[in-house]
Amino acid sequence: MLATSTMSDNGHPVGDHSSTTPCRMVSDSAPAVVVVVNTSRAGLVVPGALEDALRAGRPGMAAVDVFDDEPVVGGGHPLFAMDNVVYTPHLGYVERGGLEGMFSVIFDQVVAYAAGRPVDVVNPEALALKR
């Protein structure tokens, strides 16, 4: 896929299926016009792999808002020195409507639990444990 793509967006969760890094594949097979976008999890990319691939010219550019160690302080990340990288803090989820919706659901769950009628419980067996 990467050999014919112009963009790779790594927007999926980290798990057992993500043990191979897209950036290793990009450096070998993708044309220089590829832009790698990682706005999901730093763990999707082997540490150092994106920097190495960018230095080799494959991919040609990257856009990231996730890093192995966050927050990045002092401008010490290698990607910050590269002119073919756009980087931002991982704040894409912060917008008023999203936060209001999230807190409304959380509030409703806490009120239901306090009233003895828990909702959306992933592990109901834990409710039976004595505390």
Quickly list DSSP for 27-78. Answer: HHH--TT-EEEE-S-GGGS-TTHHHHHHHTTSSSEEEES--SSSS--TT--G
Hey, which residues are catalytic here? Answer: 41, 70, 90
For residue 78, the tally of other CB atoms under 10 A from its CB is 13
